[in-house]
Amino acid sequence: MRDLSLHLMDIIQNAITAKASKISILICADRESDLLEIAVKDNGIGMESDFLKDVANPFATTRDTRRIGLGIPLFEASANRASGELKVTSKKFVGTEVKANFKLSHIDRLPLGDLGQTMEGIILAWPDIEYDLTLDNKNVRFNFNSTDIKKRLGEVPITQFEVIKWIGEYVNDGVKTIFGGILYEILS
């Protein structure tokens, strides 16, 4: 994958496949500890403990359509390349949390990518799910919650073109506000 937002999309798709109705995403960049943390938590069906032990194996998948699952192994490889790690915790019928951390200044850390476009895509594809996105730099936080937006929209669908474009711009403005000067690649 060429950026972290694509990894996020893949992990979010896994949560949706696991029948999640709420997906929380946290991206935290801490300049002092030189750490970037990404966490995706869902309330889906969770995983059996036997499968959880083998979740980073590309040949372990619950899919019937193909016999390999590369999302988590690729995310783990990206974290490892940037002196980080990936942890997956899950409880059957409760949900799953995928946490990855990266050395913020590491030359091999992937760029964040277009997080606004990622949010646009998942909301368009799965508008009935609640998405909660938090961006944090240990001094200031930004939060986007799709349910709050729906309430403000009233009868206007969240999938309306103008709304989706606004969401993408709003999220990317949040990225610039929270991470500008920390994650330099988002300034281009």
Contact 98, 39 (CB under 8 A): yes
The rounded mean pLDDT for the chain is 88
Instruction: Give per-residue pLDDT as tens, 105-114.
Output: 999 999 999 9
Beta strand 22-30 with 35-42 is antiparallel
Mean pLDDT for 87-112 is 94
> Distance between CA atoms of 92 and 47, rounded to whole angstroms?
5
> Distance between CA atoms of 132 and 187, rounded to whole angstroms?
23
Is pLDDT above 70 for 182?
Answer: no
Instruction: Give per-residue pLDDT as tens, 100-137.
Output: 999 999 999 999 999 999 999 999 999 999 999 999 99
* CB atoms closer than 10 angstroms to residue 127: 14
Q: Where are the beta strands (DSSP E) in the chain?
A: 22-30, 35-42, 85-91, 95-103, 130-136, 141-145
First to last CA, the chain: 19
23: left (phi over 0), alpha (psi -120 to 50) or beta: beta
Q: Residue 66: pLDDT band by 50, 70, 90 thresholds?
A: very low
Is pLDDT above 60 for 5?
Answer: yes
Mean pLDDT for 135-163 is 96
Structural domains in the chain plus CATH codes: 4-187 (3.30.565.10)
> Distance between CA atoms of 43 and 70, rounded to whole angstroms?
22
Q: What percent of the chain is modeled with pLDDT above 90?
A: 78
What does the pLDDT read at residue 54? 57
Contact 90, 97 (CB under 8 A): yes
